[in-house]
């Protein structure tokens, strides 16, 4: 059975997402983009659910700075981010009128995935058993 967890940074720890947003806005000139969420997804096979649950706060996330969920987190809207949403002609857009697009980037079969390999090694050390199969992906959720 494939076990899946999504891990994203808590507010205040989203430096990478903030830097990427600024880079896209400044270098590419895409000023309508308002928010980016970066989410790490892990798919694990070959371990029990109990072991998987115990590994979430130790291997797959850092409880102090990450939020781990079993389903895709809901996108953040303008009011949660304190954004003043207006269209280019000055009309109020409202929070739910912002388009949200999401895509995932993952390694192809045969390509080395350092994040997944490190997670598999850590789970093996914790379980003192066989190394599980771990795959990881980075999800980009773009708002605006």
Q: What local confidence, expressed as pLDDT, does residue 87 receive?
A: 43
Q: What local confidence, expressed as pLDDT, does residue 88 receive?
A: 42
Q: Exposed, middle or buried by CB within 10 Å (0-12, 13-18, 19+), for 121? A: middle
The structural domains of the chain, ordered by start, are: 1-73 (3.30.1280.10)
How many CB atoms are located within 10 Å of the residue 11 CB? 9
Q: What local confidence, expressed as pLDDT, does residue 113 receive?
A: 92
Residues 50-60 pLDDT 10s: 999 999 999 99
Residues 119-129 pLDDT 10s: 999 999 998 98
pLDDT average, residue stretch 102-118: 92
Report whether pLDDT(29) > 50: yes
């Amino acid at each position: 059975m494939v076990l899946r967890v999504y891990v994203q940074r808590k507010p205040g720890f989203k430096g990478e997402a903030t830097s990427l947003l600024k880079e896209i806005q400044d270098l590419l000139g895409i000023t309508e983009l308002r928010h980016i969420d970066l989410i790490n997804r892990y798919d694990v096979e070959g371990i029990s659910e109990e072991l998987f649950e115990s590994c979430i706060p130790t291997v797959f996330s850092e409880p102090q700075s990450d939020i781990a969920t079993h389903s895709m987190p809901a996108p953040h809207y303008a009011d949660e981010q304190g954004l003043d949403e207006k269209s280019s002609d000055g009309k109020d857009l409202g929070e739910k009128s912002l388009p949200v697009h999401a895509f995932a980037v993952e390694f192809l079969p045969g390509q080395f995935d350092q994040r997944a390999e490190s997670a598999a090694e850590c789970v093996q050390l914790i379980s003192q058993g066989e190394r599980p199969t771990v795959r990881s992906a980075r999800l980009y959720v773009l708002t605006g």
